[in-house]
Structures are given as C-alpha cells and as structure tokens.
Amino acid sequence: MDIRGFVSGAFELDTAVRFVAVLDFQYNIVAMEQREGVPSLIPDEQTDRNMTLLIPRIMVEACQKFQTFFGEFESVSARYSKVLFTIYCVENLMIVLSFEPEVGTPFLTKIGQELKELSNRYLVT
C-alpha cells in the first residue's frame, strides 16, 4: 500500500482539493495532509486532527445505518459556506477530501437554489 502516492495523486486530481485524509474503519488516521500553500480553516493543529476524526465518525456511521434499505454506502458530502467535505469509502478505508467552496455540484446547487426560492415564497412568515 502506497499511502504517500495516494495522497499525492489525490491532490493532483484537481487544484480545488484543499485537504486529504485517509482513515481506517476504526477511525485511526493513516494519512492527513493539507495542500501546500493552502491555510487550514481550523487554526489549531490538534483541533484539526480532532475534526478529521469526528466528521467521518458522525457522517459515515449515520449513513451506514441505512445500508440495509439503500444498498452499500459509497460516499457522503457536506457543504459549508467555506468548504465542501466529501467522504468516500474505498475498500477498508475512508477517504476524506475537502474542497474550495466554489467546487460545483450542479444538480444539488440548482435544487438548493430552487428550494431557497420556494421557501422564500411559501415558508417565510
């Protein structure tokens, strides 16, 4: 297994990739790296490490509970105003990527904008 090669390759996929972490399913960090020249959004390195352990635990464990109904769990994403997180389950590992917020998710972005318009029209009191 060439974790260093994997992390380098993940950064080469797209310049919008800010951060790459690889965890096993016991939530041990196998690799964790910020793109060179891109500042972390979390100022403290220990807090950054803790978040890297916490986010996948919450998101993946919640989603895995529905595998019986929906099939094998593959990935989950969360978009914030400053970052997009995506967690992929590959083999026996979790791959955590964070992207610049401008990264497009055309269908989800379109639906989200339309839902905002609908909520402004029908749900605002």
What does the DSSP assignment read for 97-114? EEE-TT---HHHHHHHHH
Q: Is pTM, for the whole model, over 0.85?
A: no
Specify the 3-state DSSP secondary structure of 72: coil
Nearest to 19 by CA among 48, 46, 43: 48
Nearest to 89 by CA among 68, 72, 69, 108: 72
CATH of the domain at 19: 3.30.450.30
- Alpha carbons 54 and 106: distance in angstroms, whole number: 28
Please give the chain's pLDDT, 125 residues, in tens.
Answer: 888 999 999 999 999 999 999 999 999 999 999 999 998 888 777 777 778 888 888 888 899 999 999 999 999 999 898 999 899 998 889 999 999 988 888 777 788 788 888 888 888 76
Number of independent structural domains in the chain: 1
Domain encompassing residue 21: 3-122
- Alpha carbons 123 and 74: distance in angstroms, whole number: 33
